[in-house]
Amino acid sequence: MHELSMADAIIKTVIDSAEKNNAIEVLEVTIEIGELTLLNPEQIKFILEVLSEDTILEGAKFNIEVIPAKIECSCGYKGGIGSNDELDHYNPIISCPSCGRGNFKIIDGRECNIKNIKIEQEE
Residues at the binding site are: 2, 73, 75, 96, 99
| DSSP string for residues in 32-101 | EEEGGG---HHHHHHHHHHHTTTSTTTT-EEEEEEEPPEEEETTS-EEE---GGGS-TTS-----TTT--
Q: Which is nearer to Zn ion, 54 or 83 (CB)?
A: 83
Kindly tell me which of 49 and 72 has the beta carbon lying closer to Zn ion.
Answer: 72
- Report, in Å, the least distance between residue 81 CB and Zn ion: 10
Residue 109: CB minimum distance to Zn ion, A: 16
Comparison of 15 and 99: residue with beta carbon closer to Zn ion: 99
Letter string b/e over residues 63-89, b meaning 16 or more CB atoms within 10 A of that residue's CB:
ebeebebbbebeeebeeebeeeeebee
Which residues make up each annotated binding site for Ni(2+)? Answer: 2
Residues in contact with Zn ion by CB under 5 A are 73, 75, 77, 96, 98-99
CB of 103 to Zn ion, least distance (A): 7
